Chains A and B, each alone.
Chain A
Amino acid sequence: MAVCVAVIAKENYPLYIRSVPTENELKFHYMVHTSLDVVDEKISAMGKALVDQRELYLGLLYPTEDYKVYGYVTNSRVKFVMVVDSSNTALRDNEIRSMFRKLHSSYTDVMCNPFYNPGDCIQSRAFDSMVTSMMIQVC
């Protein structure tokens, strides 16, 4: 269902980015990059409220003609960005939310791996296969 999944570190550099191979990869990288501004805006705009409600899901960041970009930010300011095909109308907010939650818990497992150094690119096979399962569910 997702066409691109990205994990962005606190300092706004990518830890992990994957997109469906058939499409133009660079386009997605660009899209994710652009979305970071929106993420920052959202965090600063409702930063206070977010902390209070412990709401990590940022919702739709921006729609383009073909895609929708969703965002999620953890309390440690790690960002998850997901690009989905907007032709897929069956995908509701709740599903996106649960996908992000899955992504978050998988990311937590990666962090707990003693061989992973925080700040490095994510090369975990488990994380990779989890992202793959998210991508092929509908595609």
Chain B
Amino acid sequence: MSVFRLLLLLNCALFSLGVYGMLTRRHAIGLLLAIELILNAAALNFVLFGRLFGQAQAQAFALFIIALAACEAVVGLAIVMSLARSANTILADRVQLLKG
């Protein structure tokens, strides 16, 4: 078993962990953490394949994803803050504003 395949499996595990966290976490901050995991799994995948095919753009993508993740965290935390203020809770399943 090559190291690539091992790393791919790691990525896959990381991604799956993120998805699992998104589906199971009730806490909004937990959700954000799970998203971070998914993003990082994707970034790691870019780095891995960039290395495999000798392409620099992929590394740049990884950098973009890190910046994007930071932005996402900022926006997400702001949403959580305002949610805590207005709904007095940050449990995601307690807030159903979009219910039709």
A binds B: no
Chain A residues within CB distance 8 Å of chain B: none
Chain B interface (Cβ within 8 Å of chain A)?
none
